[in-house]
Amino acid sequence: MPHITLNSDEPGIRGLFRFRPETALPLNELAEVLLCGESTLSRGERELIGAYVSALNACRFCYSTHAAIAAVQLGEDLVLVEQVRADVNRAPISDKLKALLAIAGAVQESGQKVSEQHVTTAKEAGATDIEIHDTVLIAAAFCMFNRYVDGLDTFAPDDPAVYAARAQRTDGYLAVLADSLRLG
């Protein structure tokens, strides 16, 4: 039961966006740029970073949503995402992505936990300054999104099909927001 009375029964952040649409637009614009915008990291890799941070923050709604999207965008099933969640160092992903996820994990603890060694390791694995920048910003943004969702105790469905259905939408966060607000 959410801590505040929402004007929607939509789960997670979607209910919060409907409650306060004036904050929904800038938050979705940020998500659109970070996760769907032009990047040398694939959309799936960026979604995986968001899912990983959400797992570290134990945010069930955000993890389930972005894990499902990452799986679709990576052309994989949830097994890969769960492998990353369980042990990023043993997961079958590139060394560059492992290094970026280590940076994301450090950001999740505290921005001050990102060390020169994290950055050096990522660069040695082929990460660019922009990819490192975007990883830090994705991780920081997801910490905010996770705390927003859990801080107001929003509803997170148990049914994986709810998240799988959302993951099929490939037209980005602004399109999903527009549809959500129009349908309400």
pLDDT (tens digit, 9 = 90+) per residue, 117-164?
A: 999 999 999 999 999 999 999 999 999 999 999 999 999 999 999 999
Please tell me whether the overall predicted TM-score, pTM, comes out greater than 0.85 for this model. Answer: yes
Cα 3 from Cα 22, distance rounded (Å) = 20
**Residue 181, pLDDT above cutoff 80:** no
Classify the C-alpha dihedral 41-98-34-81 as positive or negative.
positive
160-181 burial: b if 16+ Cβ within 10 Å, else e? eebbeebbeeeebbeebbeebe
Average pLDDT over residues 17-35: 94
Name residue, tokens 């979705």.
28
Give the length of the chain: 184
**Residue 184, pLDDT above cutoff 60:** no
pLDDT score, position 182:
72
